[in-house]
Amino acid sequence: MTATASAAAAERVLGLGAMEVVDYHDPNWSAKVRGGFDAALIIATSTADAALPLVRDGGRLCSLTSDAPPEERGIMSWDLYVEPNAAQLVQLAEQAAAGTLKLAPEPLPLNEGPAAFARVVTGRAGGKKIVLTRA
């Protein structure tokens, strides 16, 4: 997994499992990435257009920043929207602060990612899945 992050956050992102971190402040960040990715998740504004060429033909690009580029080369490209809910966020923050927030993630090796994703989208996940990208 390759991630973009600020230089200050690079070590933290590597610690979370990224194999490579590229500074998104660099206007030529996409030229420093090998490419051929099955999928790209866009969480930094104004990076979707630069990320699209890095996705393999037939891959997927999902933008959380409302800037998904038009589909090309068989790449599915879409924006994902969520509805902010202040009351739920307050409740989650209170539970986290009190130590009562219950999460039961299931860490999985990368090769089990597709099967885990299939269980999630069909509603048979039975909890959150975390796909690990390195040991």
User: Do residues 37 and 63 share a domain?
Assistant: yes
pLDDT for position 135? 41
User: Do residues 39 and 90 share a domain?
Assistant: no
pLDDT for position 82? 73
User: Do residues 32 and 8 share a domain?
Assistant: yes
Per-residue pLDDT of the chain (135 residues; tens, 9 = 90+): 888 888 998 898 888 788 888 998 888 988 988 889 988 988 878 888 999 999 999 999 999 888 899 999 999 998 988 777 888 888 888 888 888 877 666 677 777 777 777 776 676 666 555 555 544
User: Do residues 54 and 36 share a domain?
Assistant: yes
Beta-carbon contacts of residue 133 (< 8 Å; ≥ 6 apart): 1, 17, 18, 19, 110
User: Do residues 10 and 60 share a domain?
Assistant: yes
User: Do residues 62 and 13 share a domain?
Assistant: yes
User: Do residues 75 and 91 share a domain?
Assistant: no
pLDDT for position 2? 86
User: Do residues 66 and 119 share a domain?
Assistant: no
pLDDT for position 112? 75
pLDDT for position 115? 78
Domain tally for the chain?
A: 2
Burial of 86 (0-12, 13-18, 19+ CB in 10 A): exposed
CATH of the domain at 35: 3.40.50.720
The gap between the terminal CA atoms of the chain, to the nearest Å, is 13
User: Do residues 31 and 16 share a domain?
Assistant: yes
Give pTM, 2 decimals: 0.61
Residue with tokens 């219950």: 102
User: Do residues 73 and 91 share a domain?
Assistant: no
User: Do residues 62 and 95 share a domain?
Assistant: no
User: Do residues 73 and 111 share a domain?
Assistant: no
Q: Which domain holds residue 127?
A: 86-132
